Amino acid sequence: MEYHFKIHEENPGGYWAQCIEIPSAKTQGNSLPELDKKMQEVINLALDDPENLEDLPPFPMKIKITKDIRKVKVDPKISFSLILKRERLKSKLTQREVAEMLGLKNLYSYQRLESSRTANPQLTTISKVKKVFPNVRLEEVI
């Protein structure tokens, strides 16, 4: 999953950037390499909000890359948990219902998948997720 940032140059030096899809995600840096690192940090922080389940951020748009627009890759754990959470909510299912559909032992096992801090699914679990949510685009995770 990759989001887009518009890069702005400041005078007398330095840069700042704003995420196009999530305008509240902004950062700055003294050099482009520093800015690249900070854009990665700010997008991961913006997407990793487990408390706010009902107001999920938008998925990345298809945007033409130019000299002042850069793609920034999201941490795969954050991408996975966000995609899973979005699919569950879109399907109007509870966490318990999805846990049962995935054949997980308990609700906590499912909740770990929706948390980027603990999401680390095995291939068998990923395969089950694809069966439960056939339209999910897991290629967005990597």
Q: Which domains does the chain have, with CATH numbers?
A: 2-73 (3.30.160.250), 76-140 (1.10.260.40)
Phi, psi dihedrals of residue 120, rounded to the nearest 5°:
-155, 65
* pLDDT average, residue stretch 41-53: 76
Supply 60's token pair: 């990345």
Tell me: the pLDDT tens digits for 96-126? Answer: 999 999 999 899 999 999 988 888 888 888 8
Q: Is the pLDDT of residue 45 over 50?
A: yes
pLDDT, position 51: 52
pLDDT, position 99: 95
3-state DSSP call for residue 29? strand
Give residue 130's identity as a one-letter amino acid code. Answer: K
What Rg do the C-alpha atoms of the chain give, in angstroms? 17
For all residues of the chain together, what is the average pLDDT?
89
3-state DSSP call for residue 112? helix
Non-local CB neighbours of 73 within 8 Å, separated by 6+ positions: 1, 2, 40
Tell me: the pLDDT tens digits for 74-91? Answer: 999 999 998 999 899 999
pLDDT, position 5: 98
Neighbours of 31 (CB within 10 A): 11
Neighbours of 54 (CB within 10 A): 5
Regarding predicted confidence, which is higher, 116 or 134? 134
| DSSP-derived pairing of the beta strands 15-19 and 26-29 | antiparallel
DSSP state of 118: T
Tell which residue, 72, 133, 43, has the closest CA to residue 113.
133
pLDDT, position 53: 46
Beta bridge partners, 15, equal 9, 29
Would the CA dihedral through 40, 50, 127, 133 be positive or negative? negative
pLDDT, position 94: 95
Regarding predicted confidence, which is higher, 48 or 64? 64
With tokens 């941490």, the residue in question is 75
pLDDT, position 118: 85
